[in-house]
Structure 1
Amino acid sequence: MNITLLVGGRSTEHDASLHGYHHVLSELRKEPDRVTVDSVCYVDRTGAVRFFGGGPWPEDEKDLLAGEVLPLGAAIERLRSGGSFVFSLLHGNEGEDGGWQGLAEVAGIRGNFGPVLASALGMDKYLQAALATALLPGLRAPRSVLVRADSFDAQRVLREAGPGSLVVKPNRMGASLLTTCLHDPDESELAKAVAAAAPYDNQVLVQEFVSGREYSCSVYRENGRLVELPVAEVVSQGFFGHEEKHVKGRARIELCAEDPTTKAIRDYAQALFEATEVATFARCDFLVRDGETYFLEINTLPGLMSGSIFPMALAATGRTITDLVVAASGDHESRPARDKVKEYDISH
């Protein structure tokens, strides 16, 4: 099986993509008889595309920037006609928000992109929470106020958000970037947090801080069936933000033994995965407080860095990143084709 790795992206999560690329590349090298990387397509931070058609594969950003520059249209055509399965590691804006998913659908690129709708919802925390709680009886979401940065009224938002600590986060970004917990919020603090996020996303989510146990459930489909991966608990000092996620020692991940709580969480995650037709794999985050489960978000392209939750859960079942790539190819090939051409008469 030949694959193209699609990495980087004009995105605030560019660095996560590069770290995932390093780990995936190193893991694939362990099983060269099953999967061969035959090209690397790098989208730099400005959106320019660089293509590598042979090894040795670039490792760091300096090497990636030295690749052959292609116009976007030419790059899409090469991905379409190259014969390889494209495994995308593009995170965040223009990577997993429906942008590249739409390009792949229109151009006919074979890859792990999946449907546009699932990815677009996966990058909108406010809408996905509304959908998840509507579809899944018993699942709750933190009390939330969606703020438009250009019409922000701090006094109104504080009133609607209610008493207690608040979490302020961009509605359509990942990696907990620019996410702030305000333990004693006032108008000035709230305005400062919203202003920090606004240049990157004019939709900002203000939520009640739910103090509870945080869980992350990986979902994975292989050969047409869902595989039960262990649920992970995130153990941190009260708040799991960007630094807690990305600075070693700030939090730890523990794979959980099966119990009624983890089973309920997996049932919720798998039901949402199926309902939105996410491709191959995802990760859903939850909080549990006083026996009630709160939905936080679904991530339709979970991090594949060394030490990330999804690879850890995958490895616990004896599976590898190579298994994931092979499963993604099989998932794409088994997806029912849609006939998009139908003529009809309009008589008026």
Structure 2
Amino acid sequence: MNTNKPNIAVVAGGNSSEFVVSVKSGANVLKAVDAEKYNPWLVEMQNDRWEVFQNGEKISNIDKADFSFQLNREKVTFDFAYITIHGTPGEDGILQSYFELIGLPYSSCGVHSSSLTFNKWFCSNYLRSLNVTMAKSLLFTKGDNIDAQKIVDELGLPIFVKPNAGGSSFGITKVKQVEEVETAILKAWEESSEALVEEFIDGHEFTCGAVKIKGEKIVFPITEVIPKNEYFDFEAKYTPGVTEEITPARLPENLFKKCQQLTSEIYDHCNCSGIIRVDFILKDETFYFLEVNTTPGMTGTSFIPQQIAAMGSSLTEIISQIIEDRIG
């Protein structure tokens, strides 16, 4: 280990169903950290287990008092944390709060932005108040009475039922019959204490990433998402060949710019920082907002690395710029 180079923690894992995806993201980001400039370390977190890995081998536990670890009986501290946890505690503001408390710079959105965007209901209602177009939705907290017919009367069929806090399409159901509503809500409650029931928008899915470095925002090329499954579920997201992904998206220039502009506006509305990704459905030349991802997937098949490559840059280059921006 070169003691003159900053120590970078690539933090992966987490306490949700997205653990496996996060570990893949972490491995890809670890590989992309410029080892000539930095000492990269993989930190895997799951509940009370916080461990440091090197070359796939555990070398130490993390001291939770200051996020340090022991190597050859010497204390090693980090200069920066790159968060690749999807779900709690890395995407909802909890880990961000801890890093703020101990004074460790990190890669993602701050505490308030992370907690706002992770709660789909809060985020949607906030953005709706700023005239961002989106589907109608209803929220059900675990234990609420479910009147399936009333839900269908209000939102129509089909509808999407999803966990209010969560990602990677865990717990999501496309409901086509009134008899399926209750089962779908119970499934979503397995992932989150709240279930979001959304009107179905019949259109095509697009996703766009963005990052702000040294006060300058870079909006990435848009990806067109064409799932072979009925919708963009977990299998479609993470199984090569199940989804066709076209970057840059085949959109007329005016719509391409419109989507990038919307992404930029949402980045600012939510006071984001680091790399984020915004998902949309396009119907009749209108982009309907789906969600903001503040620690988007970074696996080999994920959208953000595709978009960075299409832009003529590399993940290594962007990550280096983010680190330099935060720690100088």
For the criterion TM > 0.5, the same-fold answer is: yes
Count of residues in Structure 1 that have an aligned counterpart in Structure 2: 316
Give yes or no for the alignment of 1:204 onto 2:192. no
Identity %: 22
TM-superposed deviation, 1:36 = 3.1
Q: Distance in 2 between matches of 1:27 and 1:141?
A: 35
Q: Distance in 1 between matches of 2:140 and 2:50?
A: 34
Q: 1:104·1:113 contact (CA, 8 Å) conserved in 2?
A: no
SS in 1 for 2:21: helix
After superposition, give the CA deviation of every residue in 1:47-100 in whole Å (9 maximum; x if it has no partner).
Answer: 311134xx4x21xxxx4xx4423453353688x981422112111011110100
Q: 1:10·1:47 contact (CA, 8 Å) conserved in 2?
A: no
Match of 1:69 in 2: 61
Q: Distance in 2 between matches of 1:67 and 1:200?
A: 32
Match of 1:42 in 2: 44
Q: 1:168·1:179 contact (CA, 8 Å) conserved in 2?
A: yes
Q: 2:148·2:181 contact (CA, 8 Å) conserved in 1?
A: no
| Deviates most, 275-284 or 253-262 | 253-262
Q: Distance in 2 between matches of 1:199 and 1:205?
A: 13
Match of 1:322 in 2: 316
Match of 1:86 in 2: 81
Match of 2:225 in 1: 234
Match of 2:91 in 1: 96
After superposition, give the CA deviation of every residue in 1:228-272 in whole Å (9 maximum; x if it has no partner).
Answer: 321111012442122211222221111125611121111111111
Match of 1:306 in 2: 300
Match of 1:272 in 2: 266
The 3 A distance-change label for structure 1 pair 201 and 83 is: closer
Match of 2:116 in 1: 121
SS in 2 for 1:92: coil
The 3 A distance-change label for structure 1 pair 274 and 333 is: farther
Gaps of 5+ in 1: 335-348
Q: Distance in 1 between matches of 2:186 and 2:271?
A: 35
Match of 2:136 in 1: 143
In the superposition, the TM-score normalised over structure 2's length comes to 0.89
Higher fraction of strand: 2
In the superposition, the TM-score normalised over structure 1's length comes to 0.84
The residue identity in structure 2 corresponding to 1:41 is: V
Q: Distance in 2 between matches of 1:244 and 1:283?
A: 17
The 3 A distance-change label for structure 1 pair 284 and 88 is: same
Q: Distance in 1 between matches of 2:269 and 2:69?
A: 32
Question: Map of 1:99-114 to 2, 5 A cutoff?
Answer: 99-114=94-109
Gaps of 5+ in 2: none
SS in 1 for 2:129: helix
Q: Which residue of 155, 165, 173 maps to 1:172?
A: 165
Match of 1:342 in 2: none
Give yes or no for the alignment of 1:291 onto 2:293. no
RMSD between superposed Cα atoms in Å: 2.3
